[in-house]
């Protein structure tokens, strides 16, 4: 079980996210907690989940929030799923720090699996 929505795996920053397509607006909107207690970042995109549009929009939102180039972020897992893992290569120390601030900001906005 992860107590934060990211982990470092083989020097890469792996960001766990729950992407919601067809949202009213784009943005990061809180944390999602799975049934096992692990956390994911809630990312909302206004585009439909077709032909990679939602993935591309989620990458743009994450890149802006973490202040990293969009080209450095890839989908490591969950290409066609709402639950995704985004991979960011080193250096990523500042991105980890920004993730920590996002988690603090959204600590009280945790959506639980099944709710």
d(CA 61, CA 102): 13
Q: Dihedral through CA 93, CA 90, CA 107, CA 1, nearest 10?
A: -120
- Sign, CA dihedral 53-70-8-44, equals negative
| pLDDT < 70 stretches in the chain | 1, 108-109, 111-115
pLDDT digits (tens, 9 = 90+) for 85-96: 999 999 999 999
Closest CA to 37 of 5, 7, 1, 6: 1
pTM comes to: 0.90
Domains of the chain, each with CATH number or no CATH: 6-106 (3.30.1200.10)
Q: Quickly count: other Cβ atoms within 10 Å of residue 111's Cβ.
A: 16
Please give the DSSP secondary-structure letter assigned to residue 113.
T
């Amino acid at each position: 079980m992860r107590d934060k929505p990211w982990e470092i795996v083989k020097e890469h920053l792996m960001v766990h996210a729950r992407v919601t397509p067809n949202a009213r607006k784009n943005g990061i909107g809180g944390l999602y907690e799975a049934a096992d207690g692990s956390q994911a970042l809630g990312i909302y995109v206004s585009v439909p989940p077709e032909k990679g549009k939602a993935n591309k929009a989620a990458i743009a939102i994450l890149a802006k929030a973490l202040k990293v180039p969009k080209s450095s972020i890839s989908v490591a897992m969950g290409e066609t799923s709402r639950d995704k893992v985004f991979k960011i290569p080193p250096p990523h120390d500042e991105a980890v720090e920004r993730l920590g601030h996002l988690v603090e900001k959204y600590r009280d906005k945790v959506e639980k699996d099944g709710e």
